[in-house]
Structure 1
Amino acid sequence: MSEQSTKRLAALREKMAATNTGLIAIGPGSHMDWVLGFHPHPDERPCLLLIAPEKEAFLMPVLNAEGSREFTDIEFFNWADADGPIEALNQTLAAIGATAPGKVALDETMRADFALLLIDALPADTERTFTPETLGALRMRKDSAEYKKLKMNAGIADRAIQTAFSKVKPGMTETDLAAEIRAHFSSEGASPQFWIVGAGGNGAFPHHSASERVIQEGDAIVIDIGGRKQGFPSDITRMAVIGQPPEGYGQIHSIVEKAVQAALKAAKPGVPAKEVDAAARGVITDAGYGEYFVHRTGHGMGIDGHEPPYITATSDTVLEEGMVFSIEPGIYLPGRFGIRLEDIVILREDGPEILSSLPRDVHVVRL
């Protein structure tokens, strides 16, 4: 087992002790990636990493065993299609001393049939919860290695935005511009993950993707993109305008920028996440556009592009040093345009460090 995995399992067991958790069950996915640095192929065959206070083991489909063994020395309890997983699961629980764990924390992203299989194998009075107090709490605070990968990806996304700025022109379609963005990510060895290009009225749909709409003079364009390299993602939103901005654009861009600044100022260790949302939302509401800010102020980012902490109006999550999240307020005017400005930050002792180096100013295409 790697030094990193050993440290993370130790930290996880400290959280288990503090929360009186007798078993953590993790399916193939990002939680397993965080703990072990890999996960077996995810399919319909039950595969679980089961972690008890003293020992851990895998319930492992035979088909995945050989390919997984090169990544970990954790004990496997294999099962074949001809036999089914139940006997192997009972053996796994017995081997790690978790036949009656008292409280089990389930990976909230695992398949429901995996979870039900495990629940049925445990005593009926077992308390069931999910991972936010244990594994989730640890994942929210990024270490230096995670920071470096996130920072690297932010730089790639900056350059992809700059490519979009250099290529955008009237007459091309949203999908044409999206193709230029994807090509840039690929040119730097990153896998393109998403490409929102919303011109004119399409920019008023926060999760518009890219369509065959032709970009025209006077369009304000939302460009929200992300890629992935070395297991970590990027996410950034910037604005472009073709020629003369639409009426009222400058004023609204200024309001959204002030909302970003208010959220950045509010984001400190010890502050509830909802106070950061309130800071951004208050600026937009006070300016008379509250009804047009239709989503949360931000989301966490790490192995997953969207993960805790979530910067919402109701989140009581207390922000801590090392947490990484987006700040992305927006105003969306139906039929006219939308403006969203997004940066990913890591929280330091004295406040947020922005991972991007790209200014939030609108890029104006001169005609």
Structure 2
Amino acid sequence: MEEFLMNRTERIERVLRRMAAERIDTLIAFSNAKHHLARTNLAAHLMGYRALGESALVLRGDGSQRLIVTPAYDVERAALRRPELPLTAGDDLAAALAALLRQRSPGRMATTGLGAMPHDLAVRLLDIVGKDALAFDAAVNEVTAPKTDEEIANARKAVAIAEQTHEHMLAYARAGMRECDLAVEMNLYSKGLGANDSFLMLSGGPHQQGVGASSNRPLERGDVIIAESTPAYDGQFGQICRSASVGAPSDVLAEKYALLVRAMAAGIKTVRPGVKVSEVAGAVDAVLIDAGYEEKYNHPPYMNRRGHGMGAGSIAPGDIAVENQTILEEDMVFVVHPNQYLPETGYLLCGEPVRVTASGYESLSRKWAELGVVGA
């Protein structure tokens, strides 16, 4: 049986230890109910529940917890998902929080997620917690970066769905099909495999400047389809990045895609606990520089980042970029993708998700990226 560093109990205990160190009596983690691949939602991260409406987890220094959910009818779903948590249901988060804090003095308070709440609601919540409440987002993110065993298992399932959806795309796509119709088919297919959400970026063309929204343009022979496939399983996202030629690829396209695969492999093979994120990104960049692409190609507009963490919840370790000095920890999960514009081919996508293990990395995908081919 695989050993993991963290479950939800340990995640809460880490936060409690940090609260004690900072002399915080009550932490209120707010959720705006927006659960996104690349945005932090620490309330969902702590409670293990993705509410339908604005919600809050109230965590006391003695370890007691209470989840406030809106709208009121979401309490039934919350009770099924988090049966061990005391629940308060209502249609007005601010009013419910104020009533709860009147029942027992909160002492010194800290918050997470307050700045992401809708403005009018945030004003009311700030009036309740007071302007002296400490913003605790960075502290909580720092001590809870590793995924739990449940989240890792769900990430594996999400990645498996992404891979199966990509295989379906290779069999289904053809010249004459509109990009948007292919995107709809892929989203529906991933949902049929069990994805509860699907964030897909897909476009096609003979020489693309980047991946964009799927249009009504028909695919043509000689196009390259580029796709970031990011389904979520039980709220945890997993991503793969793939490219496929419509018809047989040119020798140049095959050569340049193989270059990006080598760059990706160099970055992934750098992954282990104690390594800085900047070193992973630097390993990717080095392969491209060695291949003759000058330094400018390692910056926008030719690329954006060399990967990123995967929500929903925490997106640690953040963007895989040379500026990011975050130290990798065991059980962090992220995608390494040297997605890149090359002058000979246009923009190409190539990326794999990994988990940091005690001695290195685990690839969450069954098979690494290779240039696909669809019928012309």
Alignment TM class, shorter chain as reference:
0.7 to 0.9
Counterpart selection for 1:23 from 17, 23, 26: 26
Change (3 A) 1:99 1:359: closer
1:114: Cα distance to partner?
Answer: 4.1
Residues 171-180 or 108-117, more deviating: 108-117
Length-normalised TM-score, structure 2: 0.81
- Please give the alpha-carbon distance, in whole angstroms, between the structure 1 residues aligned to 2:190 and 2:100: 42
CA distance, structure 2, for counterparts of residue 303 and residue 107 of structure 1: 17
Amino acid in structure 1 at the alignment position of 2:227: I
What is the distance in 1 between the residues matched to 2:174 and 2:74? 52
Given that 2:156 and 2:365 are in contact with CA atoms closer than 8 Å, whether structure 1 keeps it comes out as yes
* 1:240-279 to 2 correspondences below 5 Å: 240-246=244-250, 248-279=252-283
Compare 143-152 and 105-114 and name the one that shifted more. Answer: 105-114
Distance (whole Å) between structure 2 residues aligned to residue 17 and residue 267 of structure 1 = 33
Aligned to 2:45: 34
Task: State, as a whole percentage, how many aligned pairs show the same letter.
Answer: 23
1:337 pairs with one of 315, 326, 346: 346
The 1:228–1:39 alpha-carbon spacing in structure 2 relative to 1, beyond 3 Å, is closer
Quote the Cα distance in structure 1 between the aligned partners of 2:335 and 2:56: 31
The unaligned stretches of length 5 or more in structure 1 are none
Shift of 1:97: 3.7
Cα distance, 1:245–1:76 mapped onto 2, change above 3 Å: closer
Output aligned runs, 1:101-180, within 5 Å.
Answer: 101=109, 103-106=110-113, 109-124=116-131, 126=132, 128-134=134-140, 136-180=141-185
Matching residue of 2:38:
none
Give yes or no for the alignment of 1:181 onto 2:192: no
1:290/1:316 Cα in 2 relative to 1: closer, same or farther (>3 Å)? closer
Answer whether contact 1:57 1:92 (CA < 8 A) is retained.
no
Task: Identify if the C-alpha distance between structure 1 residues 189 and 202 changes in structure 2 by more than 3 Å, giving closer, same or farther.
Answer: farther
Listed as ranges, the gaps of 5+ residues in structure 2 are 1-6, 34-40
Moved more, 178-187 or 62-71: 62-71
Matched, 1:9 2:12: yes
Aligned equivalents of 1:99, 1:51: Cα separation in 2:
12
Q: Is the 8 A contact 1:50 1:58 kept in 2?
A: yes
Query: What CA distance in whole angstroms lies between the structure 1 residues aligned with 2:50 and 2:163?
Result: 30
Q: Tell me the CA shift for residue 356 of structure 1.
A: 0.7
AA aligned opposite 1:343: E
After TM superposition, list the pairs within 5 Å mapping 1:63-102 onto structure 2: 63-64=72-73, 67=76, 68=78, 71-72=82-83, 85=94, 89-101=97-109
Q: CA deviation at 1:96?
A: 4.8
Distance 1:25 1:188, change over 3 A: same
CA distance in 2, matches of 1:61, 1:191: 20
Amino acid across the alignment from 2:137:
T
Contact 1:93 1:99 in 2 (8 A): no
What is the rounded CA distance, in whole Å, between the counterparts of 2:240 and 2:279 in structure 1?
22
Determine the structure 2 residue equivalent to 1:214.
218
Partner of 1:323: 332
Match of 1:224 in 2: 228
Secondary structure, counterpart of 1:249 in structure 2? helix
Q: Secondary structure at the match of 2:139?
A: coil
TM-fit CA distance, 1:127: 5.4
Q: Does 1:350 align with 2:359?
A: yes
Displacement after TM superposition at 1:166 (Å)? 1.2
Deviation at 1:171, TM superposition (A): 1.7
**Aligned counterparts of 1:179 and 1:59: Cα–Cα separation in 2:** 36
Distance 1:66 1:299 in 2: 33
Q: Deviations over 1:16-55 (max 9, x none)?
A: 2244444322223453333333354315xxx432223124
Whichever residue aligns with residue 189 of structure 1, its letter is: G
Q: TM-score, normalised by structure 1?
A: 0.83
